[in-house]
Structure formats: structure tokens, C-alpha cells
Amino acid sequence: MFKGSFTALISPFKDGAFDETAYERLIEWQIAQGTHGLVPVGTTGESPTLSYEEHKRAVEICVETARKRVPVIAGAGSNSTLEAIEFSRHAKDVGADAVLIVMPYYNKPTQEGLYLHVKAINDAVDIPIVLYNVPSRTVVDMSVATMARCAKLKNVIGVKDATANLARASQQRLACGPDFVLLSGEDATALGFNAHGGQGCISVTANVAPALCAEFQNACLAGDFVKARSIHERLMPLHDALFIETNPGPVKYAASLLGLCSPEARLPLAPLSEASKRAVEEAMISVGLLQAKAAE
């Protein structure tokens, strides 16, 4: 169930409000384009600036719109364990297939604290848990040994690994077992991650190139790494451009170029600079997602 290209969905805004219509349209397009799964309200979904009501509504809309056609891994993490439990309970109640639990940010817990945080959620809510390890955002890095402890808990089924450390895939596979789901959280290194035993990616780029990202993951899952490398190299300029400024600013701008939503992000994320806009546009053209403007 949890393999292939999972889109880390953006949260569209219109005049400062969560744009439910654009969100539903985005989800339908994602499924039509072959995306294997959806991840609402992760970091790419601007979870830090969504209200509790918006967070829960985004999960509800995603589950309702997907209608079990693809699995939904709902973002439910927090630096407050009680809050993460609340979001996880809500995700289970509305029918999400799993929850994504980010390592607690800012608090800077020890490895024991990370384990106890995950265990508390595991014990409180009976829903599959995908850990989310992204040290560049959280400042804490769950060690392989701690992950192996978590993998023994009943509900912990895998990890979204955004460390960009390719050795981690093999290390975590050996420590947690071959059934532990290994999903990359970093588009640029997803090819190598899959070669090391990964089974997919929770992708930013898939917001605007869902068909190509799904085709790439299908090739990896089939063991056709020659084809996968070709698609990866086609996508690489876009992977780079979508992180030219802080995510999700660039990908929201890219989505606006496709008419999917407005480019709005919430403060403290600033609007993209003109230079960054040009870089995103050029990458979209190079991948074949946009036509170059005719010379005036």
C-alpha cells in the first residue's frame, strides 16, 4: 500500500484563507495523473501556520476526495506529544490510512525522548505510523538505533527519511527489517535511496509533475534503474529549482503557473523573488511542463 510516489500536498490559499475548491481540484488531478498516494498537511502543506481547524479540515477533504482510490498518510506530528495524539486520533476517525509523525522540533529531545514521544502516540491511537526524520527542519535526528526500537512498536510501519544520507536506507533496512517501509523525503536523492532499498518518495516535485514522478517510482519498483535514471535526470533541474527558496514557496509558484492555485504562502514565508520565479519557470519549461513564451 505504501509504495511509489506520494505527493506532499501543498495547501492552497486564496486571499489568506484555505482554498478548499483548489485543494479538491489538486487532489483529483493528482489521482488522475497516477500518483500512488497523498500526504496532506506536512511541512509542504504549511502545517506550522494552519489553524487546528484548517489542519483537520485539510485531512478530511483529502480523505473524502481520495475515496480510497489511493492511500492517505495524514500529517499529524507536532512538538507537543498531546497535540500529535489529538491530530492522530482525528486522522483515524476520518479514515486516513496512516499518520506521518515528524520528530519534535525546537524542544530538541534526546533519543529517549524521541522514542517515548513515538511510543505515546503508538499506545494512544491504533493507526499505522510513518516516522518523519528531517533534521534540517527539526534540529534533531532520530538515530538508526532509536528507529529500530520504534519499529518494534505495534503501529510503526516505516519512515519518511529526509536526511539525504543515502547510507541510512541500507542501515535502517538492516536494523528495522525488510518489511519496514522506507520512503525518501528528498526528491534529489530519491534515485539513490531506492537503489539502497527504498520503496518510494513523499515528494514535493510531485505537486506539479505527478505523472513523471509516478513513472519514475514505477521504474524503480520494477528494478529498471536505467529508465528511472533517465526520468530522474529530466526532473533534476526542477528538483533543484523547487528548493531555490524555502519550501513550499517555489512549488506553490510552480503550481500557479499550471493554474492549480494561487502562489500564496503564509508569513513568515515571503513571496518569491523575481530571480527565483524565473528559475522556477525555466525549470518547468526544461522538464516540459510549460511552453516557453514566444519572443516579443
Q: What is the dihedral of CA 236, 242, 248, 253, to 10 degrees?
A: -130
H helix or E strand, kind and range, residue 38: strand 37-39
Name the residues annotated as catalytic.
132, 160
Please give the grid coordinates belonging to residue 57.
479540515
User: Cβ distance 85 to 124 under 8 Å?
Assistant: yes
Close Cβ partners of 108 (under 8 Å, ≥ 6 residues apart): 139, 140
Give the 3-state DSSP-derived string for 80-143, with helices as H, strands as E and coil as C: CHHHHHHHHHHHHHHCCCEEEEECCCCCCCCHHHHHHHHHHHHHHCCCCEEEEECHHHHCCCCC
User: Cβ distance 174 to 148 under 8 Å?
Assistant: no
Amino acid at 261: C
Determine how many CB atoms are found less than 10 A away from the CB of residue 53. Answer: 9
Helix axes 52-66, 81-94, angle to 10 degrees: 30
H helix or E strand, kind and range, residue 156: strand 156-161
CA distances from 247 to 128, 178, 251, 265 (A): 27, 31, 7, 10
Burial of 68 (0-12, 13-18, 19+ CB in 10 A): exposed
